[in-house]
Structure 1
Amino acid sequence: MTPTSPPPAAPPATNSLFPVFLKLEQFNVLLVGGGNVGLEKLSAILRNSPATAVTVVAPLILPELRALAARHPRVQLHARLYADDDLDDRDFVFVATDDPALNRHIKATTAGRRILTNVADTPEECDFYLSSVVQKGDLKVAISTNGKSPTVGKRLRAVLEETLPGELHTLLQNMTVIRQRLKGDFGQKIKSLNAVTAELAYGPAYESPATAYWRRIATGALVTFALFILVNILSYYFTWQQAWDVFGNSGLFYKFVAVGFIAQLIDGMLGMGYGVVSAISLMSLGLSPVSVSASIHTAEMFASGASGYNHYRFGNVNKKLFRVLLLPGIAGSISGALLLTYFGEQYAGYIKPVLAVYLLILGLRIVSKAIRKQQEKRRKVKHAGWLAGAGGFLDSFGGGGWGPLVTSTLITNGRTPRFVIGTVSLVEFFVTFASALTFFSILGIKHWQIVAGLIVGGVAAAPIAAKLAGRIPTRWMFLGVGLMVIVWSLWALRKLF
């Protein structure tokens, strides 16, 4: 008989805590201690379960703790010494005093009464620990270090707070709706969910047919228009001697490259600013307003194409919002270009000041939201298609305004800046493409030296800007967008003063 081998030894347990989420509002909680540690414990309780009944007992209570308790009617304060009678009818006890002997006494008493207790800064005396919590709407992630290092838990929480997007709350709501709408047997529901989540799980290699279709259209349109302009330049304006003169002309070409790089870096991170930054920079180099305007409109199409592609690549695009904005934006852009071509720029001068005043107000609102600690509740954007149509029209007819108008309006309504900027940047390529193609078909292209420099700099900056847009904290993105809108508005209003 062959002896049986002993079963493999179980790996040593490094953290045997059992994770659980409590409905703490259904229990009675006692907090002993009214100092800084007590304030920290009470803040953690109320931040996660604001309706919890908490009784605080301490001879001295901090004013900050009193102010916190005043905002929660189920918190009771007793400025006196602890007594064992305070444990009556308690389900959980938090001990946060600076008296070790008192802490041990309370723990011994609660153990005899089988009351779960947490003793601050004494892991061996705790029946449970408080975790570092990351919350995004209905999603809540708790982090435990088994009481070894709260600092590590706080740092991990900060990383996850920055990494996990605020849109996760919307995702959970959408998944609930999807689950309710799925029909068929269990196997069919699994297949449907796999189709919905394949791109999220495996990336662009498993993208849906609709996504692949729009990606091919964007790539084909960009390449086609690039070849179109290249052939025109070669046929009418370009000679080898001209090219040599441009690249060897005392660094002037590289100044245009630098202008394009800086303008696209700002535009890619904030969803606006390409036009105003380019215009201010080029005019400071002594160029005429006519050459500046023509050059920016042509080069911006390439820069926005590169920017939109990289925002899509880094996951900054909301596809539903993209579909809503696309066709109205294109229609508005074409109509604005045609009206400007046939009726002249004097009519555009009447519209831009009105737009500038509206955007100045929006910019101030966005900056105020960035400064305030609490952001306004997200509101549904009504008539987003009309907003895109107006943005496309003003961008062509008024010489700019797509980014400031559309981006700032969507962000003011509480949408996440990262996804607004990425989506508006991608739609901007199609809007600018339609505008540039209309202008090009009627007027041709001029000032190609400036255009070439802006294109080189803009394309180089696009991936950097798209990457940064996903890493900048939301508050700073609000502040940057608001300041850029204010700058754009003041620049547009400069002639009135």
Structure 2
Amino acid sequence: MSTTAGEERDELVQPKEHNTLFPIFLKLENLNLLLVGGGNVALEKLRAIFQNTPKAKVKLVGREVIPAVEKFLTEHQVPFEQRAFRVEDLSGVDLVIIAINEKAVSAEIQRECKEKGILANVADTPDFCDFYLGSVVQKGNLKIAISTNGKSPTIAKRVKDVLNDTFPNEIDEVLENMEKIRNTLEGDFSDKVRQLNDITTVLAVKTEPETPRHKKTVQTILYVAASICLMVLGHLLFSYITYDHVNTATTWVTNQFDENLLIYMLGGFIAQMIDGALGMAYGVSATTFLLSFGISPAAASASVHTSEIFTSGVSGLMHLRFGNVNNKLFRNLLLPGVVGAITGAYILSSLEDYSHFLKPIVSAYTLVLGLIIIRKALLPKIKKKKTKNIGILAIIGGFLDSIGGGGWGPIVTSTLLAGGRNARYTIGSVNLAEFFVAFSSSVTFILFLGMNHFQIILGLILGGSIAAPIAARLASKLPVKTIMIIVGLVVILVSLYNIYRIAPKLL
């Protein structure tokens, strides 16, 4: 008898096997569990049970109980008997885990469990299992169970390692905050679901994947650039260290610690507190502060960028370490940003003699940045258009960052985020590029102005170091929108004051 082509295809196409297990989470503190066995496998099961449910009700029966198991049972006050399994051990039991190296005995115990309607798990024997003990990822209240349908526990453990690295420990704080939000929502069930969906939409933003090849390229560029930076810094440093200088170094360093250093430390402290809360505005805040104390624009910008080498370098490395850098975006920002920074630093240092004219210009620029910060805080969400011409944006950001002593973050980061780019990869890539922008600007200033602002740089670094842990702590407590408005107002007021103070001298 012949068959049609369609019938032949139906015979050839077999349904693909899939995992039919139904996942559930058990409250073991409300169930009675019997563990049969006292060897290493039993110890592994015990650790898994009590790691997930510290108050689990467990009883162990084993012909041989190794010392490690006995110690564990004693520490957790688990009753046990060192003897062979008996059928009466199943009385009052809800679950059984069989962890012995005797397949025939295991099969017999499983058969007894089945007759009594008790669910059983036989270690390393999937066919005899009514349930599996999967690998578990736990971050506080978040718990994820992984199953390979009994095919490969090793793969389950590898997936567990990946998920453990993926979810930050702070995810538990997110869950607690979501619970608080849920308890304050009003309306019926549909309204609450809709509100929670709006709040958590950001978690479902599609991230831009990075291949191992791309990551290796970024790391190679970073290591090569860092080596060149160290060589240049070493050359610049040792060109100023002679035998005569070494003899007077102690006295010179001691002289740096005066009331002026405390003022610069205060500037570094304030700037880092702002940057820690907003993730930007370190440069504009520190520059505005220094200008208000009479520091020239070139000296202020040079000092701020030199101190930023340390802060942005550490920040960039951390973002790279945690996979927050988009390789393509970083490349598009790097060279244009460096070119813009060098150009701005060269122009500003060449016009150092005209600082009395530059101060009101730079103050006007910081005034505009203050307005941008407030606008970003108050502006309602609008339809986003992806930013094009990233190279031009980076050149402008690097140039204005050198001229004004800040602006790379407020200009570049804000523009890219407003264009709809992923926040994680944008902030990470811009921060990593900022290290090279700050370094290029600093080297240019040093070549044309010399290393004459050590006290300012030291004060900014010391003040910023003190503020960093405090800012990190407060960042999760204070409303960002309010902080941005306050920072914008402070920058605007100080900039206006600087313009008011300098303007009469120009007239």
The alignment's TM-score, normalised by the length of structure 1, stands at 0.53
Q: Cα deviations across residues 72-120 of structure 1 (Å, max 9, x unaligned)?
A: xxxxxxxxxxxxxxxxxxxxxxxxxxxxxxxxxxxxxxxxxxxxxxxxx
**How many angstroms apart in 2 are the aligned matches of 1:323 and 1:224?**
22
1:464 positional shift: 7.3
SS of the residue 2:189 aligns to: helix
Deviation at 1:316, TM superposition (A): 4.6
- What is the CA-CA distance between 1:291 and the residue it aligns to? 5.0
Retained in 2: the 8 A contact 1:260–1:454?
yes
- Aligned partner letter, 2:345: A
Could you give the per-residue CA deviations for residues 284-322 of structure 1, whole angstroms, max 9, x where no partner exists? 777677754543343233333233333434555444432
In structure 2, the residue matched to 1:488 is 491
Kindly indicate whether the alpha-carbon contact (under 8 Å) linking 1:257 and 1:456 is maintained by their aligned counterparts in 2. Answer: yes
> For residue 491 of structure 2, what is the amino acid of its counterpart?
W
Alignment partner of 1:328 is 2:333: no
Q: Is the aligned partner of 1:211 residue 2:214?
A: no
**Change beyond 3 A, Cα 1:439–1:493:** same
Aligned with 1:10: secondary structure? strand
- Report the Cα distance in structure 1 between the residues aligned to 2:393 and 2:455, rounded to whole angstroms: 34
Amino acid at match of 1:368: L
Aligned to 1:404: 410
**What secondary structure, in the 3-state scheme, does the structure 1 residue paired with 2:452 have?**
coil
Does structure 2 retain, via aligned residues, the 8 Å contact 1:365–1:412?
no
Task: Quote the offset at 1:445 in angstroms.
Answer: 0.9
Is residue 42 from structure 1 mapped to residue 152 from structure 2 by the alignment?
Answer: no
Residue of structure 2 aligned with 1:435, choices 436, 441, 453 = 441
Which 5+ residue runs of structure 2 have no aligned equivalent? 1-103, 114-118, 122-129, 132-183, 501-507
Cα distance, 1:490–1:252 mapped onto 2, change above 3 Å: closer
Distance 1:289 1:360, change over 3 A: closer
Which residue number in structure 2 is paired with residue 65 of structure 1? none
Counterpart AA for 2:120: A
Residues 1:6 and 2:109 aligned together: yes
State the 1:333 CA deviation: 1.0
Tell me the C-alpha RMSD between the 2 structures.
Answer: 4.4
- Counterpart residue identity of residue 245, structure 1: T
Q: For 1:338 and 1:495, how far apart are their aligned partners in 2?
A: 24
Q: Is the 8 A contact 2:266 2:463 kept in 1?
A: yes
Matches for 1:93-104 after TM superposition, within 5 Å: none
1:226-266 residue CA offsets vs partner (Å, 9 max, x unmatched):
4344324423866333245247x457646544543442343
Per the alignment, residue 21 of structure 2 pairs with none
Q: Which residue of 1 aligns with 2:350?
A: 342
Distance 2:453 2:264 in 1: 12
State the distance in 1 between where 2:269 and 2:440 align. 23
3-state secondary structure, aligned to 1:208: helix
Q: Which moved more, 1:258-267 or 1:332-341?
A: 258-267
Contact 1:363 1:483 in 2 (8 A): no
The one-letter amino acid of 2:377's match is: V
Post-superposition offset of 1:395? 1.9
What residue in structure 1 maps to residue 285 of structure 2?
Answer: 277
Map of 1:370-389 to 2, 5 A cutoff? 375-389=381-395
Provide the rounded CA distance (Å) in 2 between the counterparts of 1:42 and 1:256: 55
- Write the mapping of 1:91-490 to structure 2, written as runs, cut at 5 A: 137=201, 166=202, 168-171=204-207, 196=211, 208-235=215-242, 239-243=248-252, 245-246=254-255, 249=257, 253=261, 256-257=264-265, 259-279=267-287, 281-282=289-290, 292-344=300-352, 345=354, 348=358, 352=362, 355-356=365-366, 358-369=368-379, 375-415=381-421, 419-458=425-464, 472=476, 476-477=479-480, 479-481=482-484, 483-490=486-493
CA separation in 2, counterparts of 1:133 and 1:167? 10
The 8 Å contact of residues 397 and 412 in structure 2, kept in 1 or not, is answered as yes
3-state SS of 2:382 partner: coil
Q: Please report how far the alpha carbon of residue 490 of structure 1 lies from its aligned counterpart in structure 2 after TM superposition.
A: 4.6
C-alpha spacing 1:482/1:315, structure 2 compared with 1 (3 Å): farther
Q: In the alignment, is the contact (CA less than 8 A) between 1:336 and 1:393 conserved in 2?
A: yes
- Counterpart of 2:414 in structure 1: which amino acid? S
TM-aligned CA deviation for residue 496 of structure 1: 4.1
How far 1:44 sits from its partner (Å)?
Answer: 4.1
TM-score by length of 2: 0.52
Contact conserved, 1:322 with 1:427, CA < 8 A, in 2? yes
Structure 1 pair 400–319 and aligned structure 2 pair: CA distance change class (3 A): same
1:13-92 alignment to 2 at 5 Å? 39-44=187-192, 47=194
Larger Rg: 2
Q: Is the 8 A contact 2:385 2:420 kept in 1?
A: yes
How far has the Cα of 1:411 moved from its partner?
3.8
For residue 389 of structure 1, report the CA deviation from its aligned partner.
Answer: 0.6
Cα deviations by residue, 1:140-176 (Å, 9 ceiling, x for unpaired): xxxxxxxxxxxxxxxxxxxxxxxxxx364223xx67x
Query: What is the deviation of 1:367?
Result: 1.5
Residues 360 and 499 in structure 2, CA contact (< 8 A), matched pair in contact too = no
CA contact (8 A) 1:378 1:415 kept: no
The answer to whether the Cα contact below 8 Å between 1:273 and 1:488 also exists between their aligned partners in 2 is no
Match of 1:99 in 2: none
Query: Match for residue 159 of structure 1?
Result: none
Q: SS in structure 2 opposite 1:216?
A: helix
Identity of aligned residues (%): 36
* Cα separation, partners in 2 of 1:219 and 1:266, compared to 1, 3 Å: farther
Cα distance in 1, alignment partners of residues 188 and 217 from structure 2: 50
Q: Distance in 1 between matches of 2:300 and 2:360?
A: 20
| Counterparts in 2 of 1:135 and 1:298: CA distance versus 1, 3 Å | closer
Deviation by residue 1:24-53 (Cα, 9 ceiling, x = unmatched)? xxxxxxxxxxxx9993223146x29xxxxx
